[in-house]
Structure 1
Amino acid sequence: MPKVMISTQKLCKTFSRGGHQQHVLKNVDLQIMEGDFTVIMGSSGSGKSTLLYALSGMDKPTLGDIHFNDRNIAKLSNDQLAVFRRDHCGFVFQHIYLLDNMSVLDNVLTSGLLLGRNKKAIIKRAKELLARVGLDEGAWVKFPSQLSGGEAQRAGIVRALINEPAIVFADEPTGALNSASSSSVLDIMTEVNQGAQSIVMVTHDIKTALRGNRILYLRDGIVCGELRLAPFGSGSETDRHEQLNVFLDEMGW
C-alpha cells in the first residue's frame, strides 16, 4: 500500500492587501502519497503556487496543520523550516535561480555539500546526475549566463536531486522553455518519478500535466476535483489526453 507522505488538515492561507483580507487557501484537507507524481492545476489566482509553497515549508499557513511523515511542519520556526527543506525537499522553479558567479558544477556542489556529506561522494553524484540529464563536461564549467534555458533548467533539476530529497516540488518548471526543452525536462522528471521519486508540480499546461498520475484541481483556494491516471508511458497516450480533457472540462477549465 502507498504511504502517506504529506497530509493537511483545514489548511488556510490569508494575505492582507490594501486593508483587505484575501483568503487564498480555504480549509484544504489533502494527502500526498509517496511515489506519486501529483500535478496541481487551476486558473490563475486559484492558489496553486500558494499550496505548493505551504506543502514544501517555503511558506507558513495562516491556520491548519501540515504533517510530513507525521511531523507537523506548520508548527516549526523559520530556522527549523530551513533545515527541514534542506534535509527533505528539492525545488525546481520556472526561474532557475542559479548563482551567476559559479559554474554549473559548483552550483550543484554548493547545494550538495550543505548536508556535510563526503565531498568525493557528492562530486561523483553531481557528475553522474549532470551526465544523466544530458549535460556534458563542457557545460559543467559554464556560468549560468552561458546556458540555454533548457540547459539551465536541467542544471536546476540536478541541484534539486543532489541531496536525494524525499520529495521534489516544481513550480511551472517548463513555463519559460520552448517545446523541445520542455519535453527534455519533462522526460527527466518522468524518469526520476519512475525511479520512485515523489513529485508535486504546479502547471497550467496540459501537455506538462499529462506526466502526472494524479491531477488536483484548485478553484478559489479549494481542491474541487481529482483525477487518477495510470503512470505515464503505460496505456494509450490518446486515452490519457482524453481523460484529462474531460476532467478539465468538468472542472470548468
Structure 2
Amino acid sequence: MSTAVLHTEKLCKTFSSGGFQQHVIKNLDVEIREKDFTVIMGSSGSGKSTLLYALSGMDKPSLGKVFFGDKDISGLSNDELAVFRRKNCGFVFQSIYLLENMTVFDNVMTGALVVQKNSAELVKKVEQLLEKVGIKKECWKKYPNQLSGGECQRVGIVRAVINEPKILFADEPTGSLNSASSTDVLDIFTELHSKGQSIVMVTHDIKTALRGNRVLFLSDGKVVGEYEMPKYGTDDIKKRRDGLQDFLDRMGW
C-alpha cells in the first residue's frame, strides 16, 4: 500500500455571494497516495476544481486542514504557499497559461530558474524534456501563438514537471484539445505515472479518467465513491472501460 503524500482533515470550502453562503466542500477527509494517478470526477458543480485548488495550496480552505506529508499547509501565508507550490507542485490547466511574449524555451526556463540555479544543467534538462514530449528543436524559439494547442499543452507539461514536483495537479488538461492532441497529452501523463509521478487530475471525460489508477467521485462536496484500477496498459482496455463505466453509473454520473 502506498503512503499518503497528501491528506485533509474536515476540509470545508464556502463561498459567499449576495448574502448567501455556498458550501462547496463539506467536512472532507481524503487521502492522496504517493505514486498514484488519482482522478477526481463528479457532475458539474460537485466541487472538483475547488477541491483540486485546496489540495494544491492554490486556495485556502474555509475550515479544516490540508497536510502535505506531516506539514499543515492550510495555515501558511500567501507568500509561504507560493514558495511551497514552486518546490512541491506542478500544474497543468485546461487553459494553457504560457507567457505570450516569451519563446517556448524561455517559458520553461523562467519557472525553473526560480528553484534551480545551475543554468547550464537546466538548459540541458529543458532540451531533453522538450524533445521527449515531441516538441522539435525548430519550435523552441517560437512563441506560443505560433504553435498548435496540443503543442502548447505539451510545453505546459514540461514547465509543470521541470522542477520534479512531488505532485502534478491537472485540471481538465485535455478539455480544449482535439482527439489526437488529447491522446498525445494523456500518453505523457501515463509515462510520467509509470515512472512514479504522483498525479491528481480533475476530468469529466471517461477516456481521460481511464488513464488513472484511482477514481474519487464527488457529489455535493463529498467523496461518495472510490474506484481502483490497475496501472493503465497492464489490463484489458475494454474490461477497464466497462468497469469504470459501471462504477460511474452506480454513482449517478
Category of TM-score, reference length = shorter chain: over 0.9
Shift of 1:134: 0.4
Partner amino acid for 2:228?
A: R
Aligned partners of 2:83, 2:44: CA distance in 1, in Å?
31
Match of residue 89 from structure 2: 89
Match of residue 171 from structure 1: 171
Shift of 1:235: 1.2
Aligned partners of 2:210, 2:19: CA distance in 1, in Å?
40
SS at match of 2:60: coil
Shift of 1:117: 2.2
Equivalenced residue count is: 253
1:215 partnered with 2:215: yes
SS at match of 1:115: coil
CA contact (8 A) 2:116 2:122 kept: no
Aligned partners of 2:3, 2:225: CA distance in 1, in Å?
21
Match of residue 63 from structure 2: 63
Aligned partners of 2:116, 2:203: CA distance in 1, in Å?
34
Aligned partners of 1:112, 1:121: CA distance in 2, in Å?
11
Match of residue 148 from structure 1: 148
Shift of 1:237: 0.4
Match of residue 251 from structure 2: 251
Q: Deviations over 1:215-246 (max 9, x none)?
A: 00000101000000000001110110011000
Shift of 1:2: 1.3
Aligned partners of 1:241, 1:167: CA distance in 2, in Å?
26
TM-score, structure 1 as length reference: 0.99
TM-score, structure 2 as length reference: 0.99
CA contact (8 A) 2:116 2:163 kept: no
Match of residue 159 from structure 2: 159
Q: Deviations over 1:54-103 (max 9, x none)?
A: 00000000000110011000011111000000000000000111000000
Map 1:1-253 → 2, pairs under 5 A:
1-253=1-253
CA contact (8 A) 2:90 2:161 kept: yes
Long gaps (5+) in structure 2: none
Shift of 1:116: 3.9
Aligned partners of 1:23, 1:231: CA distance in 2, in Å?
34
% of aligned pairs identical? 63
Aligned partners of 1:135, 1:233: CA distance in 2, in Å?
24
Partner amino acid for 1:145?
A: N
Aligned partners of 2:93, 2:62: CA distance in 1, in Å?
24
Q: Deviations over 1:100-141 (max 9, x none)?
A: 000000000001100142001111111100000000101111
Aligned partners of 2:9, 2:134: CA distance in 1, in Å?
40
Partner amino acid for 2:8?
A: T
Aligned partners of 1:171, 1:140: CA distance in 2, in Å?
25
Long gaps (5+) in structure 1: none
Aligned partners of 2:53, 2:201: CA distance in 1, in Å?
11
Partner amino acid for 1:114?
A: V
